[in-house]
A = this chain, B = another copy of it.
């Protein structure tokens, strides 16, 4: 069968499932997640066999140790997936909630009610746990999903999707709630992105090139999850010890993620903070790159080049820019931010409030680490990703962001004059 036909068939099945899935009770959808958590353990040996095939293939292809690790499923990771499902199952049902309601002078009663989006396409790369996490979040919000994972994890993903499907069937959810595309060619992604008659949303999680390619061909709405070029501004006056602690946490604790800081902007008058932060990060093995002004204060830094201000290192590297004013800091941030997370460290309340207002990022912080940009850390529960778009959902996307609404209008015979 040509690729296009296979993709269409899966998307059509999901679309059909979504039609009845939206009418199911929240309790049934939760039960499906609990069942899936159980089944993950019961199907352990089958999952491990599939994972062994993927790992063997990946080793033959010479994938790095880090990628092999991301690909590996073992007992603890299975339990993490199961635990994730159980947690999502326990969230309150988002569907049917009346978001707002009012009455019109003509007596029409209008409600805005939360409903599922319909069918969500999830495109992701090597980590197989996304198969389970994403399907779980979609089901919780009453959505069918069409999954398309990375080629290295194909066998593992297919078995994990099978577990989710089995759990749905056993709970009485319609066939087709969790569909997976068993095709590794990139063409399958492009075909999927054009099926706006079946899909309501695509969430691509992966590299910049993949996301751009999807956006270029998609007619289905896409919520982009781009890179995070995160910046922290240390203001003219601040608690130096706090600044050291926050920058250290934002750079060192987990440098490979989108909410880790990549650029530090420091007010010129705050040399104390600049020196203390540099001393601390050097001790932590961070490579520092400074602008000319920074290097006039701390001479033995490697010079930062223009490209540094736009580079997401995802590594123990930090570029430092020293500025003359708050305004210059906000300008630097606006020019180079990816619009995800930005923080100010300040002891001046007015500066903090102005920063919160003027910096146009999904998450803006005063005196806290940017590492908190995360659905779990916000208390939103598990997240399907972190949106760098402004429409529909911005920042961490949880279950609620996988829903839409409809207007429900109850009348007594009203007609429009």
Binding site for B on A (CB under 8 A): 19, 22-23, 102, 104, 108, 110, 115, 117-118, 196, 200-201, 212, 215-216, 219, 221-223, 239, 242, 245-246, 248-250, 253, 334, 352, 356-358, 360-369, 371-373, 377-379, 389-392, 394-396, 404-416
Contact = CB atoms under 8 A, between A and B. Distances in A.
A118 B253 CA distance: 33
Task: State the copy count for this chain.
Answer: 2
A413 B242 contact: yes
A117 B200 CA distance: 21
Contacts of A248: 415
Nearest to A373: B407
Contacts of A215: 196, 219
A405 to B, nearest CB: 6
Contacts of A250: 415
A216 B216 contact: no
Contacts of A110: 378-379
A414 B372 contact: yes
Say what secondary structure dominates the interface of chain A: mixed
B406 A360 contact: yes
A413 B245 contact: yes
A356 B407 CA distance: 9
Contact of A411 (B358, B360, B367, B378): B367
A215 B378 CA distance: 34
Nearest to A395: B407
Given A108-B372, A378-B407, A416-B371, A334 B19 contact: yes
A252 B182 CA distance: 51
Nearest to A374: B416
Contacts of A408: 356, 364
A117 B352 CA distance: 22
A406 B362 contact: yes
Contacts of A365: 409-411
A414 B365 CA distance: 10
21 contacts: A104-B377, A118-B390, A221-B389, A245-B413, A246-B415, A249-B416, A253-B415, A356-B408, A356-B410, A363-B407, A364-B407, A364-B408, A365-B410, A367-B411, A367-B412, A368-B414, A368-B415, A369-B416, A371-B415, A372-B414, A373-B407
A151 B365 CA distance: 46
A390 B117 contact: yes
User: Which 5 interchain pairs have the tightest Cβ spacing?
Assistant: A368-B411, A249-B415, A371-B416, A392-B392, A390-B404
A246 B412 CA distance: 10
A368 B250 CA distance: 56
Residue with the highest number of chain B CB atoms closer than 10 Å, among A212, A363, A368, A371: A368
A367 B409 CA distance: 9
Given A200-B391, A221-B221, A364 B409 contact: yes
Given A108-B372, A356-B408, A368-B413, 17 more contacts: A110-B379, A115-B360, A200-B391, A221-B389, A249-B416, A253-B416, A360-B406, A362-B407, A363-B407, A366-B410, A366-B411, A368-B411, A369-B415, A377-B416, A391-B391, A394-B406, A396-B407
A408 to B, nearest CB: 5
Nearest to A371: B416
Contacts of A108: 368, 372
A414 B118 contact: no
Contacts of A115: 360
